Amino acid sequence: MAELHLGQVVEYHGDPLIEGPDAVVHHRHGALLIEDGKIAAVGPAQSLRAAHPEVPVTDHGAHLLSPGFIDAHVHYPQTAIIASWGKRLIDWLNSYTFPEETRFADAGYARDVAGRYLDLALANGTTSACSFCTIHPESVDALFEAAQARGMRMLAGRTCMDRNAPDGLRDTAQSAYDQSKALLERWHGTDRLSYVITPRFSPTSSPEQLSALGALWAEHPDCLMQTHLSEQTDEVAWVRDLYPQARDYLDTYEAHGLLGENALYGHAIHLEPREAARIAEIGAALIHCPTSNSFIGSGLFDWPQRQAERQRIGLATDTGGGSSFSMLRTMAATYEIGQLTGQPLHPAQLWWLATQGSARALRIEHKVGALAPGMEADFIAVDLASTPAIAQRQARAEDIWEALFPTIMMGDDRAIAGTWIAGTRQTIG
């Protein structure tokens, strides 16, 4: 069944990080034609209404119709420990993350948290995410089953660790390979689900485990591989001690078959020149996690340098090291970090990063992340006057970007007036 949605609409005609804000086109009175869960047409409301007079209409008024947000790096098992006080990375893992992750051996607990996480994501306008699970296959099944029930496009994988983790959270090189392969064969390509090969990071994986996962990736190169890279300086020093033969942190992955164009490297703050050059050469993605980087004291992502290198960059909340489920808050933190590093991003660039930019990082940009014919109809309606403070500022705006920027900087889930998955409005909770 077809449906016509009216409102303000943004279309991407290029990459605004390279081509500038004019690569994003705004229709003040725009429309989306949705048919069979996909976008059939985008354009001026008057033209689409005239071309499809028989189609039911939903008029969103002045709300902005946008692609749903794409969160490129989350830890859904950390949902319950988000905003925990006072730790840096290694202490965060030992004090909060590892004790919580042990609970995911209980399939019922995993299902409860998976459903809660997805409802929070949808309420904040996030329609797709790429998540680390835990070492337990039950945690992967729980997230994929919950996403499947909601019709969501979801990417995730079993987190692998065979050292420097507590009892109950360690596997072996062989069990990491075997269980990851079994989950991959069960879920990858089912409905809108994708399996992601997932070593947590080099400190918690032996060289043997990294090699085993590299071998699995070589057997399934269409899969993504996600991990962490150079998040904190003490972590980088730890990796240097654990891998004394490696040229640098990236080399601990590269030497074991875990560098490729389908790789996702979370954080990537403290990169050496060789690492940055190699990642750009291969075309892998760096995933920027700004609220997490500040919340646990990791450092500032070097926007000017990474853009000069033409890196492929995605944007992420990093739940629960990140301190918000909201991609609006994530965009705001990205802007603030850009100010501190000498390159504040334009609202058009921020919005693109949270949608099409993250979809490109996850290699799903031909399916979601933009409003264009043939794309899956995952979209949101954004209220640009969701609070009195935002409303009084946007009332003075002279263009769409001045109207949208207050929502980026001050908005939260109240700004998300509705979320649609494959053309179906979601009932949250």
Using pLDDT thresholds of 50, 70 and 90, give the confidence band for residue 234: very high
* Domain match, 272 and 400 both: no
* Domain match, 188 and 335 both: yes
* Domain match, 211 and 282 both: yes
What's 51's domain CATH number? 2.30.40.10
What is the spatial distance between Cα 78 and Cα 375, in angstroms, rounded to a whole number? 31
Per the structure, how many domains does the chain have? 2
- Supply the DSSP symbol for 20: -
**Chain-centre distance for alpha carbon 19:** 23
pLDDT in tens, 119-152: 999 999 999 999 999 999 999 999 999 999 999 9
In this prediction, residues 23-35 reach a mean pLDDT of 97
* Whether the Cβ atoms of residue 261 and residue 360 lie closer than 8 Å to each other: no
**In the chain, what percentage of residues exceed pLDDT 70?**
100
pLDDT in tens, 365-413: 999 999 999 999 999 999 999 999 999 999 999 999 999 999 999 999 9
- Supply the DSSP symbol for 396: T
**Distances in whole angstroms, Cα of residue 93 to Cα of each of 151, 227, 323, 347:** 32, 15, 15, 34
Of 314, 341, 361, the one marking the end of a domain is 361
Residue type at position 82: I
Of 311, 341, 361, the one marking the end of a domain is 361
* Domain match, 213 and 163 both: yes
pLDDT in tens, 177-223: 999 999 999 999 999 999 999 999 999 999 999 999 999 999 999 99
| DSSP character string of 282-300 | HT-EEEE-HHHHHHTT---
Of 339, 361, 383, the one marking the end of a domain is 361
Phi and psi at residue 287, to the nearest 5°: -110, 115
Q: In this predicted structure, which of 82-91, 106-115, 239-248, 376-385 has the lowest mean pLDDT?
A: 82-91
* Domain match, 33 and 89 both: no
pLDDT in tens, 416-426: 999 999 999 99
Hey, which bits of 280-384 come out as E strands? 285-288, 312-315, 379-382
Paired residues of 157 in beta bridges? 132
* Domain match, 240 and 382 both: no
pLDDT score at 86: 73
* Domain match, 54 and 131 both: no
pLDDT in tens, 46-84: 999 999 999 999 999 999 999 999 999 999 999 999 998
What is the spatial distance between Cα 292 and Cα 317, in angstroms, rounded to a whole number? 7
What's 137's domain CATH number? 3.20.20.140
Measured between its terminal Cα atoms, the distance across the chain in Å is 26
What is the spatial distance between Cα 44 and Cα 35, in angstroms, rounded to a whole number? 17
* Domain match, 407 and 373 both: yes
* Domain match, 324 and 401 both: no
User: Mean pLDDT over all residues of the chain?
Assistant: 97
What is the spatial distance between Cα 129 and Cα 73, in angstroms, rounded to a whole number? 7
With CA atoms as reference, report the closest residue to 44 among 30, 55, 58, 54: 30
87 pLDDT more than 80: no
* Domain match, 78 and 23 both: no
With CA atoms as reference, report the closest residue to 63 among 328, 369, 364, 407: 407
In this prediction, residues 239-252 reach a mean pLDDT of 98
* Domain match, 163 and 275 both: yes
Enter the tokens of residue 225.
């591989």
What is the spatial distance between Cα 342 and Cα 25, in angstroms, rounded to a whole number? 26
Range of the domain at 54: 2-68+369-425
* Domain match, 199 and 120 both: yes
